[in-house]
Amino acid sequence: MTSSSVLDLAPVVPVVVLEDAADAVPLARALVAGGLPAIEVTLRTAAALDAIRAIAAEVPDAVVGAGTVISAGNVSDTVAAGARFLVSPGWTDSLLDAMKGSGLPFLPGVSTTSEVVALLERGITGMKFFPAEAAGGTAYLKALSAPLPQARFCPTGGISLASAPSYLALPNVGCVGGSWMVPGDAVAARDWGRVERLAAEAAALGA
């Protein structure tokens, strides 16, 4: 799997923050059942690595990745846990080297034209656009598409079910990242049926 193919796994990549690793497997199963196999588990909690490990081991139809990857240590830890792709909110040369060295597909985060050009210089065409809404949204990405058509993006940050279609309609957007299908109250209540329904609604955006 290449970085570009991460953008083609599903129209929406759930961005998941888990406080309890015991929720990882049922949550992942609900998302997969709803049609969203690519799942980004963010490294924002102490449970994240155990969650990635559990999904990788017990939900074979899920393609679990690690988000909020910001150091070489994060890269090695998530590779060991079984992550199949890496996502960073931004990038540095050392982080880029670590992600490249992992052998996994990765989406480095960008929010400026110069960052996009710098990645293209390094042969990287698949990127995360973050924070999407705050950094200019669809208007910004549309403006990039003419001078930099080879760059493709997964916009993440502030995107909702209502705004996702306008992103997905852009020629340089492969998928969007969001957390609206994994609302905190549903996860806290372990209402996996609701998560599955929200996931199916999100997956239908690519139909």
Q: Which residues are marked as active site?
A: 40, 128
The tokens for 116 are: 């996009």
In angstroms, rounded to a whole number, what is the distance separating the alpha carbons of residues 176 and 56? 22
Q: How many residues in total does the chain contain?
A: 207
Question: 96: burial class by Cβ within 10 Å (0-12, 13-18, 19+)?
Answer: middle
Residue 81 φ/ψ, nearest 5 degrees: -80, -15
Cis peptide before 14 (omega within 30 of 0): no
